[in-house]
Amino acid sequence: MPICAICGEEVELVTKCKMCGEKFCSDCGDPDEKLCIYCMDDDDDWVDKEDWDEDVGVEEEDEG
């Protein structure tokens, strides 16, 4: 049986992370997204940074 690279447990199925390549069990990541818990956190940070860029803008001045 394969061993999860994150928790070290022997499991029936592991998934290879699409970002870092680690093989993880369903408790240590999202098999559907193919992201381990560490890369899920990195992915969330990336989304947050994208959101920051969208929120940045120049205030319009009143011409009144």
Residue 8 maps to a domain: no
Parent domain of 30: 15-55
pTM of whole model > 0.85? no
Q: Is the pLDDT of residue 59 over 60?
A: no
Residue 19 maps to a domain: yes
Task: Give me the residues paired with residue 10 across strands.
Answer: 3
Query: For the chain, what is the domain count?
Result: 1
pLDDT recorded at residue 9: 97
pLDDT recorded at residue 39: 94
Residue 24 maps to a domain: yes
pLDDT recorded at residue 32: 96
Residue 50 maps to a domain: yes
Residue 4 maps to a domain: no
Q: Is the pLDDT of residue 3 over 90?
A: yes
Class of residue 12 by CB neighbours under 10 A (exposed 0-12, middle 13-18, buried 19+) = exposed
Q: How far is CA 50 from CA 40, 46, 53, 55, in A?
A: 15, 6, 5, 9
